[in-house]
Structure 1
Amino acid sequence: MSEEADKFMPDKDLLAALIQMGINEDFAKEALFCTGNKSVDDAINYIVNNKDERNELGRCEDSGKGMQDSSDADWEDQGLANYKMVHVVNCSLKMKTENQEELNQWEELGEKKVVLKGNDAEHLKQLYHKAISEGLPAYLVRDAGHTQIASGSLTVLSLFGIEEHVENITGKLPLL
């Protein structure tokens, strides 16, 4: 391990956010080191791209990555795309946010999000009804039919709540 990696101090807030997402502390530190301690998003990109090749802290320096800036131009030069998910809300409708206190806590603790595999529409409906019966906010998303999916197709079940309660419903499902 390099001397630079030995002296590295990860940003405590970034490290805490990664650990809250369920990422191993050592791997979180490695990701922060290798991405210049810049952001959770950069660290997650590093983790996703290196999960099968994980070694010791500082491995990235040995491979020539070090703490280089990985700007969008660098990604494009390598023929890689930088992905993200966005939800845009029509604020002119003045919709009230339910569970605002819980959402604020969730945001402060790193906004843990997980995508799981459901078997089919009937399976999603069963999970939905179980969530509702246990008092969890849940929503079934149906496709508008503007692309390859038929209009009205049940595509996603969204759940929110205390992790233990959500796990009671979805804990046995595999990751997507």
Structure 2
Amino acid sequence: MASRAEHVKQLMEMGFPENRARKALIMTHDCGTEPALHWLIENADSPDIDAPVPESLASRSSGRVEGSSSGFVGDTVPGQPPALGVPTQPAVSVINPDGACSPGFIVGTSECKAVLVVDTSLKMSIGKTAAQCAHAAVGLVKNMHANSVPWLHAWEMEGEKTVVLKANSSAELEALEAKAQSLLLPTFMVEDAGRTEIAAGSKTVLGIAGVSEVVDQVTGRLSTLR
């Protein structure tokens, strides 16, 4: 396996400043040039891209990110990319839950997807359901951008494969969310403001994203919303 210095050199040969190259490798757990390159592209316009890496990150090459029901799960270093159970690039690497890199899925973007799960027990109208799905999709993508999910840009460029499924209760949505987070998948839960059809705080739609095989471990038994 190539060293961090070798990957830094490769990124510098592509035209990136040394400090950015080094930061990108740290922020992607030293998983190689391609994940670091994806991170650099995703964060090119970030105002703090040249800010120093926190010492807590600089001293280690892997880790996990804290999140809530609307984000990622793990031990925390704010702003650090999550050690997701999904590929770091549309190629051959995955980041395992322990933060280590290993060979995994041979991933093309068609093998990544987002799933929106609707609580049908709320009996929302078609328009209300559509609005809640839109909130879930936007929130999920914002979370992934905020956490620099390395495969996000490729998924967006390839059509953003998304399916809508149905659950039978709020309790079922919460159970699905917990299982998704145990697999370190990005999630976003929509809670309604209560201004129209349903009570405030009602959990309406859960968004989950990742490699299809991993997402299906959570939602594979669910039926399509029709």
TM-score tier (shorter): 0.3 to 0.5
Determine which structure has greater relative contact order: mean sequence separation of CA pairs < 8 Å that are 6+ residues apart, divided by chain length. Answer: 2
Larger proportion of helix: 1
Larger fraction in strand: 2
Higher Cα Rg, which structure? 1
